[in-house]
Amino acid sequence: MKEIEYTQSSTDTKLFELNQSIAALNDKSLTLQKLSSKGFISPDEFRIQNESLASQRKKLSAERSKKLHGLQSHSAMEKLEELQAILSSWPGVPTEFDIDQFDEIVEKIIPTADNKLTFRLHCGLELTEEIPS
């Protein structure tokens, strides 16, 4: 868990830096467009520099997406721990349906058009079950 927390805090810093870098590239791109529209650089030079900026932006955006995916994994882990705490507070594994226990973990049930039910738990997790025909 400590490793996840460390990764989380370093990811936040890295995300901030990536966002700043992407914003700086966007500023450079805007400046480049202004220079091109005023005729200060040739169309070929604009194309070369614009492609370079786009390539850098694509690379940073991919890295940013990867970091955000890690944050989502961390959030899912926290939700699972919350559910585990609720389940471990029960005296044992239920052998029959108990509405109180059900209400303790299920926030709402969402029916879908394709014969499925999605159970949204209070911790934010969603579990989908198919209704047999």
pLDDT digits (tens, 9 = 90+) for 41-62: 999 998 899 899 888 988 988 8
Partner residues linked to 43 by β-bridges: none
Retrieve residue 18's tokens.
Answer: 């990536």
How far, CA to CA in Å, does 22 sit from each of 51, 57, 86? Answer: 15, 6, 42
Q: How many residues does the chain have?
A: 133
What is the spatial distance between Cα 101 and Cα 30, in angstroms, rounded to a whole number? 57
3-state secondary structure 47-72: HHHHHHHHHHHHHHHHHHHHHHHHHH
What is the spatial distance between Cα 58 and Cα 88, in angstroms, rounded to a whole number? 45
pLDDT at 70: 65
- 84-103 average pLDDT score: 83
In a 13 Å sphere around the CA of 61, the CA atoms on its Cβ side amount to 9
Quick: pLDDT tens for 121-132: 888 888 899 988
DSSP for 7-63, please give it: HHHHHHHHHHHHHHHHHHHHHHHHHHHHHHHTTSS-HHHHHHHHHHHHHHHHHHHHH
Is 0.85 surpassed by the pTM of this model?
no
